Amino acid sequence: MSSIIKLLERMGQESGLTESAIEFETAITESNLNEQLKQTMLNRDIVALEKALDICPDVVCVLLPADEEEGEGNEEKPSEDKIKISAQA
């Protein structure tokens, strides 16, 4: 597992590996990966790579509003007819 991590890290650091097909293939064939992972990387098959590494690519986040506490909604609000507006000239 550490070999694939090191290769992916190297690919992230050296932009030439992802831009040049020859350098990309050379880096993969010279790596210590097993043949299945090498072939998956050479084919750029992301789904097969996720399965081979047994990773979960989907991250889900859900936010729910908080429930109102008892008493919060029962506060008395001044009615419109009781509000007094004063203006000074």
- Residue 81 within any structural domain of the chain: no
Q: Which pLDDT band, with edges at 50, 70 and 90, does 85 fall under?
A: low
The model's pTM: 0.53
pLDDT in tens, 40-59: 989 989 889 888 888 877 78
Domain count, the chain: 1
Is pLDDT at 21 greater than 60 in this prediction?
Answer: yes
Q: What is the pLDDT of residue 66?
A: 86
Residue-number span of the structural domain to which 49 is assigned: 2-53
- On whether the CB atoms of residues 57 and 50 are closer than 8 A, the answer is yes
Number of C-beta neighbours around residue 28 at 10 A = 18
- Residue 88 within any structural domain of the chain: no
**Helix or strand (DSSP H, E) at 53:** helix 46-53
- On whether the CB atoms of residues 37 and 13 are closer than 8 A, the answer is no
- Residue 76 within any structural domain of the chain: no
CA 79 to chain CA centroid, Å, is 49
Task: Give the rounded percent of residues in the chain with a pLDDT score beyond 90.
Answer: 6
